[in-house]
């Protein structure tokens, strides 16, 4: 299945959830599914559809393909602890998400592109796989050569303070110090609906 490259605002309206910061303003003015007449979504949704939409929302939010998401879900089901929380922790620990969280990109889509193009080093080695899962002790940093590029000269990442990572804007470095807590995932996610969807 190909990655959905449609505008993020359009995807956001489809899911009824702002998948990127710029979608907030547009969705404040426009509601409902793109192309749908006003009021058409007033019909009640089945539980299955609600579960499906939640799964699609989170999958698109973190930028995963269907097979990638299903594989991650299977791993979360086998791991110890709550399946839903395991899933969110795995998503948060992706390299592209860490780049986004640290402010080196304004969207996860942009962060994925930066990692794919080899602008980052993981523990001193160049990487180009956005899905690499970070672990405590890992150091993710912008390549010295990339730091000289116009993009990294003008970007102003903030020193994000999450319980599991420390971002150093001056050194353009991210240190993973622990594991993400449930409350540090994106707001408005009901992971239990996703667990129920895959438990059918």
Domain ranges of the chain: 8-90+187-198, 95-179
Q: What confidence score (pLDDT) does residue 45 get?
A: 80
Rounded distance, CA 15 to CA 138, Å? Answer: 34
CB 87 within 8 A of CB 191: yes
Task: Give residue 25's pLDDT band: very low, low, confident or very high (50, 70, 90).
Answer: low
| Fold (CATH) for 8-90+187-198 | Ribosomal Protein S4 Delta 41; Chain A, domain 1 (1.10.1050)
Rounded distance, CA 125 to CA 148, Å? Answer: 18
Per-residue pLDDT reduced to its tens digit, 49-92: 999 999 999 999 999 999 999 999 999 999 999 999 999 999 99
| Fold (CATH) for 95-179 | 3.10.290
Query: Coil, helix or strand for 72?
Result: helix
């Amino acid at each position: 299945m190909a990655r959905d490259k449609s505008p993020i605002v359009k995807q956001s309206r489809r899911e009824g959830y702002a998948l990127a910061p710029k979608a907030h303003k547009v969705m404040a003015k426009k509601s409902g599914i793109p192309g749908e007449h006003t009021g058409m979504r007033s019909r009640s949704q089945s539980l299955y559809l609600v579960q499906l939409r939640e799964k699609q929302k989170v999958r698109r939010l973190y930028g995963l393909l269907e097979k990638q998401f299903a594989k991650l879900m299977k791993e979360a089901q086998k791991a110890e602890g709550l399946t839903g929380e395991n899933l969110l922790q795995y998503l948060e620990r992706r390299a592209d998400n860490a780049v986004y969280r640290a402010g080196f990109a304004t969207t996860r889509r942009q962060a994925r592109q930066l990692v794919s193009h080899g602008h980052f080093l993981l523990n001193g080695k160049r990487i180009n796989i956005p899905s690499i899962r970070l672990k405590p002790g890992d150091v993710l940093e912008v390549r010295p050569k990339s730091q000289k590029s116009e993009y990294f000269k003008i970007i102003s990442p903030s020193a994000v303070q999450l319980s599991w990572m420390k971002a150093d804007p001056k050194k353009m470095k991210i240190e993973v110090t622990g594991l993400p807590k449930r409350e540090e995932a994106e707001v408005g996610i009901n992971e239990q609906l996703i667990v129920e969807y895959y438990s059918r």
